[in-house]
Structure 1
């Protein structure tokens, strides 16, 4: 059995106001070819199919068109699980219809049904998938008055662990004495996972990461949420596929891929990263204004590209220049570059926070909050409590978008 594991498509995403529609369509066309070429029998999409809970109509169309084209191949089944960016209700709108196209969609967990799906080839049972989506705290536990943060974290970790164990036990029942692989899905941070700039800090309640040891011993665990392709604890069967597109300039120079896994019965016999071709180049330049201009001039001496590169410029000099963007644009050839952002690299401290020259759009929400905390005389315990409350509020606001 051959599987492709992917996640974090973020259909409908915009990078600094620029649509990613062309890139996503290019990726989906490429992915369809990989399914055909490698004779894939199961495609797992481990969360964050869409960038928001209310994606643009074109993003929904791309999603449905792709699943219809996969079904037309006749040999590949699809598992889709919801992520923290996805709306459960929106994913479930077409859930029943998509079952006719061999696509099993789990936007969120339901009280009366465990998301466990057997995968057959004709009458042969190939695998049983525990298609666990992003777990929202309200689906698992209720807060109790007087609990400390540590108690809440422990309770939630235990509930997540128990939910996975229930799914795994049900999968074992379905597998019976066969050699079918038992595969898990998840969308959260495992301890040891490497986070990139574009990944929103994901808290399940107050829990920021979970130890893999709390999960059952899956033959393969298909994870989503972290945008960098990676394995956890050096174990190739515990894996994040990573996002197929760079979702921020911090990922511009990182290769993007999907994971192909081969099984012989329960045994994983091979795994490989299939590198996604770049359809929209991104480039981030850092230095003084003079250094940036010199790099731009040098790059524009090369052959003209098919598409202009989206450009981010980070200026390291602290001198305030009101016409900074105009100076850079005056050296840009539109056939080579499209300037999306210019920012100054600032050291965030009390003095910087108090300067009138600082623009808030040059700082992240976390940097602003951290700098504001420095202005107060607070104990370590008070600071930790406020940081936890801030992160929980960020998550609540993100889920309402």
Structure 2
């Protein structure tokens, strides 16, 4: 059996106010070509399909057009997608009855039976091979929100509730499968030891308090397809437990490595190979600095001029980082003037004082960071410090995180 592992598409994402629809369209066209070329049996999409719980219509059209095109091109392909922490579980599941006719399974939530047992049947999906025989079972684990895995029967310990869900689902899978059938898990979670992209990955709870141990996935699981962390990586060096990473760089901190999907080969229960397939970058992200303003202006002058025959949509996104000795009220005007006729699209100017590293706004006024760079936890911590003159304690941060999760869960309800 052959599988493609992808995650963190973040359809509908903006980069400092600039939409990324062209880049996502290029990725999906490339992915369709890869499906046609290599004919995998299964495509896994491990969460954060959309960038927000209420994605723009265009982003939803991209997803469903892709699913229809993939099915028309390869009618035997099975697609499994789960909700991530950026997604609304309810929204992901809404068209599920229709998508099943396209051999696509959409799982957004875990549900519980009247007797308090996990509804594991809906989370266990058969994976047919090219001959139509069931070659394996997929254990679909969408992002588990506190409200879904805590309560009177499970207790109030979030991590313990997650561990219990994994234990019950794996037990149900082992009971269902026949000899020679592989178990493949798809999950959206932060595993302990994973390398985080600070600028674009929303913390699931607080710090690393939510990081899950790889031991949740015992040796009976042939492969674990993870989503949430945007950099491709193995978990604790294990070949079978991996993040595929995002298909495009979602922030300027993600431009230093090649984005990819993973091509997995299984022979029965045995993992044979995991091969990265590198995704062409439709639009480059370019960062200049940090450097003094005079040096930055020289670098801007050396950028290539606009080619009238080239597509404007392929011009790189540019971030300029300037180190200042004194305020420069006309900083933006100087940068934009230097960029006249250049084949780049400016999306951000970040300034800092050389003396203390304090960041400044575009107009030179004191501004530690841009608001869109702060997480809700950061804002809460700053407000607490301003109000009480001391750092917020860890328990209060955890209480805030719990309330935040509950509010986000309420926003997702249709």
Category of TM-score, reference length = shorter chain:
0.7 to 0.9
Which residue number corresponds to residue 265 of structure 1? 268
The 1:321/1:347 distance shift into structure 2, 3 A limit, reads closer
8 Å Cα contact 2:350/2:359 also seen in 1 = no
The 1:19/1:143 distance shift into structure 2, 3 A limit, reads farther
Which residue number corresponds to residue 331 of structure 1? 338
Which residue number corresponds to residue 291 of structure 1? 295
State the Cα deviation string for residues 166-204 of structure 1 (Å, max 9, x = none).
211222222122x11101111110000011021011129
TM-score when scaled to structure 1? 0.88
Structure 1 stretches lacking a partner, 5+ long? 145-150
Shift of 1:110: 1.7
8 Å Cα contact 1:9/1:244 also seen in 2 = yes
Supply the RMSD in Å over aligned alpha carbons: 3.0
2:143 aligned residue (119, 134, 150): 134
State the Cα deviation string for residues 81-130 of structure 1 (Å, max 9, x = none).
01111112211221000000000110111224320101123442211000
The 1:23/1:206 distance shift into structure 2, 3 A limit, reads closer
SS in 2 for 1:358: coil
- Looking at structure 2, the residues matched to 98 and 204 of structure 1 have their Cα atoms a distance apart, in angstroms, of 35
- Looking at structure 1, the residues matched to 177 and 25 of structure 2 have their Cα atoms a distance apart, in angstroms, of 37
2:394 aligned residue (372, 384, 397): 384
TM-score when scaled to structure 2? 0.85
SS in 2 for 1:260: strand
Which residue number corresponds to residue 148 of structure 1? none
State the Cα deviation string for residues 338-394 of structure 1 (Å, max 9, x = none).
111111136999x989xx931265364356655666676648xx6323433454455
Which residue number corresponds to residue 359 of structure 1? 367
The correspondence of residues 2-401 of structure 1 with structure 2, limited to 5 A, is: 2-72=2-72, 73-112=74-113, 113-114=119-120, 115-121=123-129, 122-142=131-151, 155-177=157-179, 179-196=180-197, 197-203=199-205, 207-217=209-219, 218-286=221-289, 287-300=291-304, 306=311, 307-345=314-352, 357-359=365-367, 361-362=369-370, 364-365=373-374, 378=390, 383-396=393-406, 400=411
8 Å Cα contact 1:135/1:204 also seen in 2 = no
- Looking at structure 2, the residues matched to 260 and 96 of structure 1 have their Cα atoms a distance apart, in angstroms, of 28
Total equivalences in the alignment: 388
SS in 2 for 1:11: coil
* Greater mean alpha carbon deviation, residues 5-14 or residues 364-373: 364-373
SS in 1 for 2:194: coil
Structure 2 stretches lacking a partner, 5+ long? 114-118
